[in-house]
Amino acid sequence: MGFNGKLLDGMVIFSQVVNNGSFTKAADNSGHSISYISKEVNKLEERLGVRLLNRSTRSLSLTPEGDSYYQQCQQIIDNAVAAEALLAGHQAEPQGTLRISCPVSFGLSRVRPKLAKFIAQYPKVNVELDLNDRKVDLITEGWDLLIRASIEMEDSSFISRKLTTAHSLTLASPDYLKKYGTPQTPQELSNHATISYSNLKQPNVWNYLLANGKTVDVKIKSRLTSNSPEVELALCVAGQGITRLPTFNLHDQLESGELVRLFPDLPRIEIGVYLVYPSRKHLSSRVRHFIDFMMRELGD
């Protein structure tokens, strides 16, 4: 790519408009006139060849292209602020919006209890936490960091730093086992009602590690398939079938006797919980501090 002396023109002004929610407030806070702010954004759109903002007399909103561009602009601006602070001899105080996507159950059981401490420790950071079990796109959707749980992470150009380790357990209620019998081997699950997780690549195939080190794939008959571990857990407790869940989805159901762990003599299958982010280089201060905070609070 050749040299482009106008590459950063309008970027800060555009971000100011988005952050303030209007041209008028951006002008007031930046010390420029409204006409100057408007002209800079117009020139930026013309140079990029896309509309970044939808404008009306009463509202201002980002277009899809504008939202993607804004996320990248904020990262560049944050990096510039951090670089100046570094040259000045001190670390930039974390600030701005931190966008995190996290599985529902892990977010509720592990992340939520720690959020108050993080927010109190870094008062200039605004946290946008999305609890969702769907597969998200880190870059396209503009996330700063993903928290993901998996037996094996897919190869990618992103950094996957292991936060902690959970285990996959096969579970049933005492009422279900009393009514339908207790399977003694994983292969017997094919004769039982099961409740499976739809976000897996193969929801109807459960993998087990045997005592001899070999693995076995069991094809099960799902009575219900759901993308919600909470639904799986509730139906399992209600005696509607056998399910598999990571330990972080459980509360005290095993201790209270509401659920029974099946195949306790087999090796437990590990599930890694990872912090996923684009690169070790050029991390904003808020992302770096959140990673360090999570490793201190929840890391193995």
Contacting residues for 39 by C-beta, under 8 A, at least 6 apart? none
Q: How confident is the model at residue 86 (pLDDT cuts 50, 70, 90)?
A: low
Residue 88 has pLDDT above 70, yes or no: no
Fold of 11-73: Arc Repressor Mutant, subunit A (1.10.10)
Q: How many residues does the chain have?
A: 300
Residue 235 has pLDDT above 70, yes or no: yes
Residue 155 has pLDDT above 90, yes or no: no
Whether 126 and 98 have beta carbons less than 8 Å apart is answered as yes
The answer to whether domain 166-270 has CATH 3.40.190.10 is: yes
pLDDT of residue 247: 92
Work out the mean pLDDT of the chain and round it to a whole number.
88
The answer to whether domain 96-162+272-298 has CATH 3.40.190.10 is: yes
pLDDT of residue 89: 45
Q: Kindly report, as residue ranges, where domains of CATH 3.40.190.10 are found in the chain.
A: 96-162+272-298, 166-270
Of residues 192 and 278, more confidently modeled: 192
pLDDT of residue 87: 59
Q: Kindly report, as residue ranges, where domains of CATH 1.10.10.10 are found in the chain.
A: 11-73
pLDDT of residue 59: 80
* Range with the largest mean pLDDT of 5-19, 87-101, 134-148, 284-298: 284-298
Percent of the chain at pLDDT above 90?
51
Q: How many CB atoms lie within 10 A of CB 139?
A: 12
Q: Which of 15-24, 193-202, 276-285 has the lowest mean pLDDT?
A: 276-285
